[in-house]
Amino acid sequence: MIRLFCGLALPAQLRDRLISLGGGLPGARWVPEDNLHLTLRFIGEVPEPSFDDIAVALSAVKAAPFDLTVAGMGHFERKRRPTMVWAGIEPSPRLLDLHVRIESALRRAGVEGEERQFQPHITLARFDASASPERVAGFLQANSLFRAPPFRVEHFTLFSSMLGRSGPTYHAEVEFPLAAALAPDRF
Ligand code: 3AM
C-alpha cells in the first residue's frame, strides 16, 4: 500500500516566513520546513498498482497557472481543544476550481469521494493534550495580520507520505504542470 495526497509545494521564501512564526507554544509539534504544503486532496492508502491509474487520471487535469496569497491564521479544534494551527489562503476561485478538477479525476481513477469540505490551509503545528487554548488563541491573535506576497502556482504535486516515529516524510512523486490553454490551431 502507498499513502498519497495531492498538494501544492510552496516556494522556499514562503516556507522560510512560515517557519519563522514557529515556537513558543507548549504542546505544539511544528511542521518542519520541508513538509510545509497545501493539501488539495488527501487520497489515503491505495494498493501500489493503483498508483499509475491515479497518476494518469491526474495528468488529464487541465487548469491554467494562477496566483495564490497566504494570509491570516486559523485553527481546528476537537472537543473544544485546539488540534492544529494553520496559515490561511485568500479566497481563490481558481484554487477551488483546481480542487474540483482533481476531485473528478480521482473519481474517474476509482478513488472514493471525500466527505470533508475543502478548507484550504497550510498546517503550521499540531497540538497534543498539553496545549493551552489561551496560548493558542494568543498566537492566532498575534499573527492575525500575517500576509505573504502572492506566489504563482504552476503545478500541483502527487505526494507520497511515509508515517514514521518523528512524523511523516513526504515525497513528491509526480508534478503536474498547469498550462494556459493552447491557442486554437489556425491551420
Ligand atoms: O495539509 P494538512 O497537514 O492539514 O492531516 C493530513 C495532512 O493535512 C491530511 O492529509 C494531509 C497530508 O497527510 N490527512 C491525513 N489523514 C486524513 C484523512 N483520513 C487527512 N485528510 C483527510 N482524511
pLDDT < 50: residue spans in the chain: none
Q: Atom 8 in ligand 1: which residue has the minimum CA distance? A: 39
Q: What is the dihedral of CA 38, 122, 67, 186, to 10 degrees?
A: 10
Q: Atom 7 in ligand 1: which residue has the minimum CA distance? A: 39
Taking the C-alpha atoms of residue 28 and residue 148, their distance in angstroms, rounded to an integer, is 23
Dump the DSSP string for 73-107.
Answer: EEEEEETTEEEEEEEEE---HHHHHHHHHHHHHHH
Active site amino acids: 37, 121
How much is the pLDDT for 85? Answer: 98
Closest ligand 1 atom number to CA of residue 84: 4
Total-model pTM = 0.95
What digits encode the pLDDT tens for the residues 143-187?
999 999 999 999 999 999 999 999 999 999 999 999 987 666 655
181 alpha carbon to ligand 1 midpoint, in Å? Answer: 31
77: cell is 479544534
Closest ligand 1 atom number to CA of residue 86: 4
Instruction: Check pocket membership of 76 for ligand 1, CB cut-off 6 A.
Output: no
158 alpha carbon to ligand 1 midpoint, in Å? Answer: 13
Q: Atom 1 in ligand 1: which residue has the minimum CA distance? A: 39
How much is the pLDDT for 181? Answer: 77
Closest ligand 1 atom number to CA of residue 159: 12
How much is the pLDDT for 180? Answer: 82
How much is the pLDDT for 187? Answer: 56
